[in-house]
Structure 1
Amino acid sequence: MTVISGAVLTTRERETLYRRAVVISLFSWRRALPSDVLDDDERMGWWGDSYPLRDNDRTGSRLWLLRRRSITSQTLADARQYALEALQWLRDDRMVSSLAVDVARNGLHAVRLTVTLDEHSDAPLRFEWDDIWRTIGRTIHAV
């Protein structure tokens, strides 16, 4: 049983709430750090991060930084790190007790990303994207 702000969520409500949080966290572009290597002058980022309510409170991920890289073991490791960084707020805000991210090559030109969230109050939730590589590229080119 999941309770958020005093409301008991159904299984469907719980999954919808967490899926939405994960999608926004992973596929909104966080502003690049000063130390990040850029392939152009655009640091991206959500404008609201210019005025965070808490220090270092940021929205989104830096997955977009990988958009022009080849799929190598280092790229996969960076994708995993960026995803963990983007989802860390779920642990910090005690929405989940643990989270896991798995990133793996999926064929020649795709990258699979799997997120598992555990609240200890219900069955773990698992969300999977078969090709985040295409998502990253399309989102960037659509902007």
Structure 2
Amino acid sequence: MSDIRTLWNPDTLHAEWLLNGSVLDTGRDLETAFVISLMTDALADENDVLPDPTDDDRRGWWADWQAADIWGAPPIGSKLWLLRREKWTEAVRLRAEDYVRTGLAWFLDEKIGTRLDVSAVRAEIGVIEVTVTAYRGPEQLVALRFRTLWD
């Protein structure tokens, strides 16, 4: 069964399901999996600094609870949300790239592909642009660009 095609909308900061005529579009499963992996909030570790010091919500997807024990599934999501209130520095840029690589580690772990190229740049004040290109051998499987990952 194919996934429902999901596209990240940087203007609304939400993912949207796409239509093919009057039915939900299916296809581009890998692209959809990447969008879900990166735009779902991963559970913050106990020692992660949360964006709002008055809020102790470490987020995470509810279905990750015991997912590894029940069917050996890795946790889903990324920690990009932790950068929401960060000031732009080289360290923040590197953390953004690391959060993307960690959020997409399943792609390499499951041997779906052989390489991920990840780049984060400051597009403008308050906007980080992340580019992800995934490969299987020399073949490019998917190339995505996310802008305004958070505000």
Relative to the length of structure 2, the TM-score reads: 0.73
Task: Tell me the residue number matched to 1:66.
Answer: 83
Counterpart amino acid of residue 24 in structure 1: I
Alpha-carbon distance, 1:121 to partner: 6.9
Q: Kindly, what percent of the aligned residue pairs are identical?
A: 30
Runs of 5+ in structure 2 lacking a partner?
A: 1-25
1:54 corresponds, among 72, 88, 96, to 72
Q: CA RMSD in A?
A: 1.8
Which residue identity does 1:50 align to in structure 2? W
Asked if 1:116 corresponds to 2:133, the answer is yes
For residues 29-80 of structure 1, give each alpha carbon's deviation from its aligned partner in whole angstroms, at most 9, with x where no partner exists.
010011211232000000111111227x210001111111112211111111
Q: Which has the higher helix share?
A: 1
* Partner in structure 2 of residue 7 of structure 1: none
Whole-angstrom distance in 1 between the partners of 2:64 and 2:30: 21
* C-alpha separation in 2, matches of 1:113 and 1:20: 16
Contact residue 134 and residue 140 of structure 2 kept, 8 A: no
TM-score, normalised by the number of residues in structure 1: 0.77
Residue in 1 that maps onto 2:42: 30
Q: Distance in 2 between matches of 1:74 and 1:123?
A: 28
Distance of 2:126 and 2:47 partners within structure 1? 28
Higher strand share: 2
The runs of at least 4 aligned residues of structure 1 exceeding 3 Å deviation read 121-124
